[in-house]
Amino acid sequence: MKLTSLNRSLALLVFASVVAAACAAPPPAAQQPAQQPAQQQEAAQQPAEQLPPGWKAGIPKNPPDRKGKKLVIRDVPKLIGIGYFAATTKGMEEAARELGNIDFKTDAPTEAKIEKQIEFIDNFITQGVDVILFAANDPVAIAPVLKKALDQGIIVVGYDADAQEDARQFFVNQATFEAIGQALIEDMVSQVGPDAEVAIVTSSLTAPNQNRWIEEMKKYAAAKYPNLKFVVTLPSEEDQQLAFKATQDIMKTYPNVKGVFGLSSVAFPGAADAVKQAGKCGQIAVVGLSTPNQMRPFVKEGCVKSVILWNPIDLGYAAVYAARAIADGELKPGATSLKAGRLGELKVNGSEILLGPPFIFNKDNIDNFDF
Angle ∠(340,166,124) on CA atoms, nearest 5: 70
Residue type, 342: R
CATH code: domain 177-309 is 3.40.50.2300
CA-nearest of 100, 234, 108 to 159 is 108
**Who's near 344: CB < 8 A, 6+ residues apart?**
none
- In the chain, alpha helices (H): 2-24, 37-45, 83-99, 114-127, 143-151, 177-192, 208-224, 240-253, 267-277, 292-301, 312-327
pLDDT confidence of residue 140: 96
Confirm whether 66-174+312-356 and 177-309 share one CATH topology.
Answer: yes
pLDDT confidence of residue 355: 95
CATH architecture of 66-174+312-356: 3-Layer(aba) Sandwich (3.40)
φ, ψ for residue 255, nearest 5 deg: -65, -15
CA-nearest of 336, 362, 326 to 131 is 326
Supply the DSSP symbol for 289.
B
CA-nearest of 199, 210, 274 to 237 is 210
pLDDT, block means (10 residues), the chain with 371 residues: 39 38 39 39 47 94 97 98 94 98 98 96 98 97 98 98 97 94 98 98 93 97 98 96 98 98 97 98 97 96 96 96 98 97 97 94 94 90
CA-nearest of 210, 305, 298 to 259 is 305
pLDDT confidence of residue 354: 96
- CA distances in angstroms from 188 to 210, 270, 318, listed in the order given: 17, 17, 30
Can you give the pTM of this predicted structure?
0.78
CA-nearest of 365, 212, 220, 190 to 295 is 365
Side-chain half-sphere exposure of 185, counting CA atoms within 13 A: 26
Angle ∠(252,254,260) on CA atoms, nearest 5: 95
pLDDT confidence of residue 50: 80
Q: What does the domain layout of the chain look like in residue ranges?
A: 66-174+312-356, 177-309
**Who's near 300: CB < 8 A, 6+ residues apart?**
363, 366
CA gyration radius, the chain: 29
Side-chain half-sphere exposure of 352, counting CA atoms within 13 A: 15
| d(C-alpha 96, C-alpha 156), whole Å | 16
